[in-house]
Chain A
Amino acid sequence: MKKSSLIVAAVLIGVFVLGLANVATAAKKKGPKGVDLYKEYCKPCHEADSDNGEYTPMTMIQDQWERFFDKEFVDSHSAVLDPNHDNKPVTEAISEEDLEKIKAFAIDHAADSEQPMTCG
């Protein structure tokens, strides 16, 4: 095989691999949004007048959400069973990927963000 053909083949393979990677990234970004996950996993136990305390993104500032998800979530929720998800502990009911989305939603709409929000 000529050297030029080898280069063309290598470029084509590279483009194909990069294309696959992009498809994989796009697939990863799909799925439910943070707001929907917040409604599904958080809101049922933390809506207004809840015994567990009302929590919406704008209940706390961004630093507090960061601290909560990084340092407090596991300790405070590993013994809590989620009745809407087969009574699994909350920490198991929410996948790592979904938890990241929930965290991003809470931080993006925290009390000190540009767009403080409840979760509807």
Chain B
Amino acid sequence: MTRRIISMLSLLALVALPAAAGKTYSHQEYFEHYEGTSTCLTCHEDEAETFFHSQHYQWTGETPAIVNADGKLLGKKNTINDFCTNPVPAWIGITKNSRGEVLSQGCSKCHAGLGKMPSAEMSREQLENIDCLICHASGYNRTLVENEDGGLEWKPILWKNQEGLDSVSKRITMPKRTSCLRCHSGSGGGPNYKRGDIEYALADTDREFDVHMGTDGGDMACMDCHAGTSHRMRGRGVDLMGSDSPDRLRCGDGACHETAPHAKELLNRHAVRVDCTVCHIPAFAKEDATDMIRDWSTPDYIEEKDKHLATITMGANVEPEIAWYNGTVWAQLPGVPVRTDDEGAIAMVVPQGDRNDANAKLHAFKVHRGMMPVADESHWLLPINVEEFFADGNMDGAVREAAHVVYGIEDFEYGWMPVKRYMGIFHEVQPADNALRCLDCHGPDGRLDWANLGYEADPLAAALTPSH
């Protein structure tokens, strides 16, 4: 009897072994072979339609927070910024240096599509251009492939390995930290170049680096704060042109923190006019330095990479600049004469609000500066085909090529002007123990420029000065 039981158990173990060795994924049962986005559309056409209209696909969106947008849909696709300027002239392509090494593959590398430019009109072709897996499949990676007709397309790197692709395409989840950071940390040309407070380190960090995302802290993923409905993300920082979601993402709206979150009443009184970020993000770019000044007027040549670049000044452990912000900004738009600030710099993005604006609070900012081309006659800000410039170092050609694509202009003269952009700092939040102390702002070497903020002097110093 005992021998029979052992035999039966052995047989069961043999049968069970392959199943136990195999892994099962969320979409294991829904399809057999992944054949591109059409596989996803079989069940998720409605979701694809909502994504088509979202900012992650269109790269434009509604602009309730841009005071001078005049109702236009705006985004990185149809504006000009002071990093890589505009993605349309360099949307997709393989740019090589003189040694034949690939320098770049186009701005669409970070678009959640398979290479086609997003159109305003929805179509089957556009829906099939959506790359669902880039955000939703962990372990998915893609590469730029030249098709037989010479066209370029983003394809899974496993496109010749159906078994591997079938495995990865079934690992469907909400976007993980690494999915988001892949583009949002790498934007601007290098790790943390653009944002300053969204570093690759956030993928796996501790509370001393970011109290929310630290695995020994809140252990929160990006989606815990930013997930909206129908593929509309919450939160737009300060300098994004389009808004996916009409509601403003706030720390103290009651969902996570109360409006008076501190035990000390003095701190709660501060919180009425001082955003959490001012005290709780004393510094950004803590692991990877960030691009603080990008001067396109002074080309740099990196011999090691055989690549031409703007002259970029990096900053590490940067102390944020503090300014009033009421949730809206003024933005320098393309096709209108540039407007300069008191420093003579083109005000690319300027937070609105002041001391007398009850809706405004002091916020923490990365202030990015640079030099950009401006047309002499129209005073329009000009884009640059940066990828063309990477390879040949011909800035004049890169400006003219991009201006032709974006504005349709050819005969023009141009010069260079300084630019200045305010970018909100909202990540890498510090626990209370590491937050600023009173004297960090109110001391003789305090970090606030009181005059610039609308005060005659440090209000604490004024309160302590005996009146006559």
| A residues at B contact (CB < 8 Å) | 58-61, 63-64, 111-114, 116
Asked if residues B167 and A58 are in contact (CB atoms below 8 Å), the reply is: no
Asked if residues B157 and A111 are in contact (CB atoms below 8 Å), the reply is: yes
Asked if residues B178 and A61 are in contact (CB atoms below 8 Å), the reply is: no
* Alpha-carbon separation in the docked complex, A111 to B141 (Å): 7
* Alpha-carbon separation in the docked complex, A114 to B157 (Å): 13
* Alpha-carbon separation in the docked complex, A111 to B155 (Å): 12
Q: Does B139 have its Cβ within 8 Å of any Cβ on chain A? A: yes
Q: Does B34 have its Cβ within 8 Å of any Cβ on chain A? A: no
Given contacts A61-B167, A63-B167, are A111 and B178 in contact (CB under 8 A)? no
A58 (CB) vs chain B CBs: closest residue = B157
Q: How many contacts between A and B, using CB within 8 angstroms?
A: 35
Convert B150-179 into 0s and 1s, putting 1 for each residue whose CB lies closer than 8 angstroms to a CB of A: 000000011011011001100000000010
Q: How far is the CB of B178 from chain A (nearest CB, A)?
A: 7
Asked if residues A112 and B141 are in contact (CB atoms below 8 Å), the reply is: yes
Asked if residues A112 and B164 are in contact (CB atoms below 8 Å), the reply is: yes
B168 (CB) vs chain A CBs: closest residue = A112
Q: Which B residues are in CB contact (< 8 Å) with A60?
A: 161, 164
Q: Which B residues are in CB contact (< 8 Å) with A58?
A: 141, 157
Given contacts A61-B139, A63-B167, A111-B168, are A116 and B161 in contact (CB under 8 A)? no
B203 (CB) vs chain A CBs: closest residue = A114
* Alpha-carbon separation in the docked complex, A61 to B170 (Å): 13
Listed A/B pairs (9) with beta-carbon separation below 8 Å = A59-B161, A60-B164, A63-B23, A63-B167, A64-B161, A64-B164, A111-B157, A111-B161, A112-B138
Asked if residues A116 and B141 are in contact (CB atoms below 8 Å), the reply is: yes
Asked if residues B140 and A112 are in contact (CB atoms below 8 Å), the reply is: yes
Convert B115-150 into 0s and 1s, putting 1 for each residue whose CB lies closer than 8 angstroms to a CB of A: 000000000000000000000001111000000000
Q: How far is the CB of B143 from chain A (nearest CB, A)?
A: 9
* Alpha-carbon separation in the docked complex, A113 to B140 (Å): 8
Q: Which B residues are in CB contact (< 8 Å) with A61?
A: 139, 158, 161, 164, 167-168
B141 (CB) vs chain A CBs: closest residue = A116
Q: Which B residues are in CB contact (< 8 Å) with A64?
A: 161, 163-164
A59, A61, A114, A116 pick with most chain B CB within 10 angstroms: A61
* Alpha-carbon separation in the docked complex, A64 to B161 (Å): 10
Q: Which B residues are in CB contact (< 8 Å) with A112?
A: 138-141, 164, 167-168
Quick one: which of B161, B167, B178 contacts A114, CB cutoff 8 A? Answer: B178
Top 7 nearest A-B pairs by Cβ distance? A112-B139, A61-B164, A116-B141, A111-B158, A111-B157, A112-B168, A58-B157
* Alpha-carbon separation in the docked complex, A60 to B141 (Å): 12
B138, B158, B178 pick with most chain A CB within 10 angstroms: B158
Q: Which A residues are in CB contact (< 8 Å) with B141?
A: 58, 111-112, 116
* Alpha-carbon separation in the docked complex, A63 to B165 (Å): 12
Q: How far is the CB of A103 from chain B (nearest CB, A)?
A: 17
Q: How far is the CB of A54 from chain B (nearest CB, A)?
A: 9
